[in-house]
Amino acid sequence: MLLHIPGLFSREEVLRIREALEQAEWADGKVTAGHQSAKAKHNLQLPEGHPLAKEIGAAMLDRLWKCPQFMSAALPHKVFPPLLNCYSAGGSFDFHIDNAVRQPKGSPERVRTDLSSTLFFSDPDDYDGGELVIQDTFGVQQVKLPAGDMVLYPGSSLHKVNAVTRGTRYASFFWTQSLVREDSQRTLLFEMDGALQQLTQDMPDHPALIQLTGTYHNLLRRWVEV
């Protein structure tokens, strides 16, 4: 499942965040890449634990835990602290698959990367190239969203970032360990939850809602890992 989540940050918030990112001191993005990925990665990144990355990441997580779409689609159990990256002057990241398990710097906690996310802080008109290309069972998708919007997709997907040939692409990326490991099961639960919400609006007193809600939770009980 690939999901576009719009408007996590307002236009005014995005402008403030981007202004701060433009003033930041960036490091080589290879520092958080695995052995194979490092060969394909050509970008800049705020170091893990950087005060600005922690501030923006905390704001992102606060929004995500209040976002019904994210909660329904991801069913989050653990979230890796969001990281910030920068692509410019030909920067790119060739096709790769994210490491299955990530460990935040200085933490004993490990996060299984069931879901990958990218939140854009640059508008599509601010740069040329820089599309996030995702290849999975749903086909090949090129993603280039408005600033403040986020895309959520399976961590098992082969993906890349096309070279930025003009301007600068600022974004945040992170991984989520879901309560439900299997993407196809999460997709069924997400679709069922959406249908239940629609039925609740259209026919709030229909007796079948109780049965369907119970079925949703019984499926979740069968598939959840804690």
Per-residue model confidence (pLDDT) at position 30: 72
| pTM confidence score | 0.92
Per-residue model confidence (pLDDT) at position 32: 63
Please state, in angstroms and as integers, the Cα–Cα distance from residue 95 to each residue in 61, 153, 181, following that order: 27, 15, 23
The annotation status of 222 as a binding-site residue, yes or no, is no
The annotation status of 63 as a binding-site residue, yes or no, is no
Which segments of 33-145 does DSSP mark as H helices, in order? 35-40, 51-65, 68-74
Confidence grade of residue 124 (pLDDT, cut at 50, 70, 90)? very high
Please give the mean pLDDT across all residues of the chain: 94
Q: Given a cut of 60, is residue 36 above it in pLDDT? A: no
Cα separation of 148 and 25, whole Å?
A: 22
CATH T-level fold of 183-223: DNA Excision Repair, Uvrb; Chain A (4.10.860)
Per-residue model confidence (pLDDT) at position 137: 80
Per-residue model confidence (pLDDT) at position 40: 73
Q: Given a cut of 90, is residue 177 above it in pLDDT? A: yes
Cα separation of 27 and 45, whole Å?
A: 5
Give the rounded percent of residues in the chain with a pLDDT score beyond 70.
96
The annotation status of 169 as a binding-site residue, yes or no, is yes
> For the chain, which residues make up each domain, given as ranges?
3-178, 183-223
Cα separation of 148 and 214, whole Å?
A: 35
In CATH, what class is 3-178? mainly beta
Q: Where are the beta strands (DSSP E) in 137-185?
A: 139-143, 150-154, 158-161, 164-178
User: In a 3-state reduction of DSSP, which class is residue 63?
Assistant: helix
The annotation status of 96 as a binding-site residue, yes or no, is yes
The token pair that represents 66 in the structure block: 């209040």
Confidence grade of residue 185 (pLDDT, cut at 50, 70, 90)? very high
